[in-house]
């Protein structure tokens, strides 16, 4: 049995946040190389956790997004009492997220004070939104003693399964040309989605330049994939709904570039070591940038942005519509400024602002 501190992290319920949380896991292992880190999260997060070498075990909590499920949380918490966790770090800010470590009787429980849940925590922290102006900084702060200076975030870096990658390439008949992965979905809502017609035009431009185009997304995003393939034709492989999250990791690690909305898959692509061309609309690349140096961000920074709304309150979605397929294609086709990184990138500083913001 390892001799380091035993830590239970209650992980976020969003894919992108779970990927960014790997910066915290890496920090915890830098502070204590023998730390034993377990992470509780939605069932989909368990295969993702398996790609993070810092984590001993991903633990599934099978509750729907927003569901209280008090009895289920209590049952799992009671089960965890024998695991000997010494500290819990609660990343989500909801009251229900703090219940599990309380039920598990973990002696030190750190999280941000919110939703009147401080009584569930032994170490409730005030969220300083100015100091902690990025999601990843908030996660890091919870792993450090109160008031400790924040280090530069270590970028997430997911393990790649080469055998699975090769099987996927064979199964879908991929890999005939340099591939560009398009991710047209964004679970948060349409105000984060570049218009599907723009993605289709981009696909057409890239195929004309000799690229293979893969469309990645969930089953719910099949209509987007179908539209892109129908409009752009041969050379486009619509994989929406046909891959698991961990398959996306392996495919993205193989792609030349990923073009993506501000979505969970954007963070997966960054953590897979792929070059990322990210398109931001109602949100801000200053709050949740892809944690990689190999990124190119399109963000118009209109007067109304970021509004952080799920749907455009003004009804025109200019923040996304006015980013043209030609501009994005130019980013994809531009020579890479930085060389491809292995899937364990070096420990580098994340820039305080995105490296390039196109206007």
Q: Is 318 in the site for ligand SF4 (CB under 6 A)?
A: yes
Options 31, 314, 338, 347; binder of ligand SF4; rule CB under 6 A: 314
Alpha helices in the chain (DSSP H): 15-20, 22-31, 45-49, 70-80, 99-103, 135-142, 162-172, 196-208, 222-232, 245-254, 264-271, 318-321, 325-333
In whole angstroms, how close is the CB of 304 to ligand SF4 at the nearest point? 3
For the CB of residue 141, give the shortest distance to ligand SF4 in the complex, in Å.
Answer: 28
> What is d(CA 208, CA 234) in angstroms, rounded to the nearest whole number?
10
Q: Are strands 108-112 and 87-90 parallel, antiparallel or unpaired?
A: parallel
Any contact of residue 330 with ligand SF4 (CB under 6 A)? no
Which position has the token pair 């229900």? 96
Q: Which residues pair with 276 in a beta bridge?
A: 258, 295
* Closer to ligand SF4 by Cβ: residue 7 or 191: 191
Cα(249)–Cα(267) distance, integer angstroms: 10
Q: Is 357 a residue that touches ligand SF4 (CB under 6 A)?
A: no
Per CB under 6 A, the list member of 169, 231, 317, 357 interacting with ligand SF4 is 317
Tokens for 199?
């993605």
Decide whether 14 or 194 has the Cβ nearer to ligand SF4: 194
Q: How far apart are CA 138 and CA 115, in angstroms?
A: 17
* Residue 309 interacting with ligand SF4 (CB under 6 A): yes
Among positions 312, 323, 328, 350, the unique one binding ligand SF4 when judged by CB under 6 A? 312
Task: Return the DSSP state at 92.
Answer: S
Min CB(318)–ligand SF4 separation in Å: 5
Window 245 to 264, contacts with ligand SF4 (CB under 6 A): none
Q: What's the start-to-end Cα distance of the chain, in Å?
A: 54
Q: Does 281 bind ligand SF4 (CB under 6 A)?
A: yes
Least Cβ distance, residue 279 to ligand SF4 (angstroms)? 12
Question: What is residue 351's three-state secondary structure?
Answer: coil
Q: Does 224 bind ligand SF4 (CB under 6 A)?
A: no
* 241: region left, alpha or beta (phi > 0 left; psi from -120 to 50 alpha): left
Among 115-123, 249-257, 260-268, 308-316, which window interacts with ligand SF4 (CB under 6 A)?
308-316
Q: Beta strand pairing status for 87-90 and 6-10?
A: parallel
Structure tokens at 70: 């008090």
Between 143 and 306, name the residue whose CB sits nearer to ligand SF4. Answer: 306
Among candidate residues 126, 129, 131, 132, the one with its CA nearest the CA of residue 146: 126
Q: Out of 224, 269, 291, 319, which residue is the one contacting ligand SF4 (CB under 6 A)?
A: 319
Q: State yes or no: cis peptide before 173, omega within 30 of 0.
A: no
What's the CA gap between 155 and 133, in Å, rounded? 17
- By beta-carbon proximity to ligand SF4, the closer residue of 5 and 301 is 301
Residue from 62, 84, 233, 313 in contact with ligand SF4 (CB under 6 A): 313
Q: With CB under 6 A as the contact rule, which of the stretches 107-115, 256-264, 286-294, 306-314 interacts with ligand SF4?
A: 306-314
Task: Find the shortest distance in angstroms from Cβ 317 to ligand SF4.
Answer: 5
Contact 269, 183 (CB under 8 A): yes
Footprint (CB under 6 A) of ligand SF4, residues 185-204: 191
Of 324 and 344, nearer to ligand SF4 (C-beta) is: 324
Binding segment (CB under 6 A) for ligand SF4, from list 149-157, 254-262, 314-322, 323-331: 314-322
Could you list the residues that contact ligand SF4 (CB under 6 A)? 191, 281-282, 302, 304-307, 309, 312-314, 317-319
């Amino acid at each position: 049995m390892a001799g380091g501190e035993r830590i239970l992290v209650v992980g976020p319920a969003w894919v992108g946040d779970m990927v960014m949380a790997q910066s915290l896991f890496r920090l915890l292992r830098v502070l204590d190389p023998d730390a034993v880190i377990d992470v509780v999260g939605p069932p989909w997060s368990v295969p993702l956790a398996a790609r993070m070498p810092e984590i001993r075990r991903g633990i599934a909590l099978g509750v729907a997004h927003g569901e209280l499920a008090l009895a289920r949380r209590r049952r799992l918490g009671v089960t965890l009492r024998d695991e000997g966790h010494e500290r819990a770090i609660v990343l989500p800010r909801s009251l229900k997220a703090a219940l599990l470590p309380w039920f598990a009787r973990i002696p030190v429980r750190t999280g941000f004070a919110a939703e009147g849940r401080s009584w569930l925590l032994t170490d409730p922290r005030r969220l300083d939104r100015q100091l902690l102006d990025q999601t990843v900084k908030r996660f890091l702060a919870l792993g450090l003693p109160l008031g400790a200076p924040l280090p530069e975030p270590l970028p997430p870096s997911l393990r790649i399964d080469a055998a699975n990658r090769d099987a996927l390439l064979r199964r879908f008949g991929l890999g005939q040309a340099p591939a560009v992965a398009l991710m047209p979905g964004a679970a948060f809502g349409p105000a984060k989605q570049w218009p599907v017609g723009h993605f289709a035009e981009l696909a057409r431009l890239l195929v004309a330049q000799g690229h293979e185009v893969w469309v990645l997304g969930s089953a719910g995003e099949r209509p987007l994939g179908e539209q892109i393939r129908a409009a752009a034709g041969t050379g486009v492989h619509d994989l929406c709904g046909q891959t698991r999250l961990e398959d996306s990791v392996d495919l993205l690690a193989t792609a030349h570039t990923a073009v993506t909305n501000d979505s969970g898959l954007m963070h997966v692509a960054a953590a897979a070591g792929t070059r990322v061309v990210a398109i931001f609309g109602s949100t801000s690349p200053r709050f949740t940038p892809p944690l990689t140096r190999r990124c190119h961000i399109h963000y118009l920074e209109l007067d109304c942005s970021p509004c952080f709304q799920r749907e455009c309150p003004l009804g025109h979605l200019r923040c996304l519509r006015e980013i043209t397929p030609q501009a994005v294609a130019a980013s994809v086709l531009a020579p890479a400024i930085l060389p491809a990184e292995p899937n364990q990138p070096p420990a580098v500083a994340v820039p305080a602002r995105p490296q390039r913001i196109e206007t």
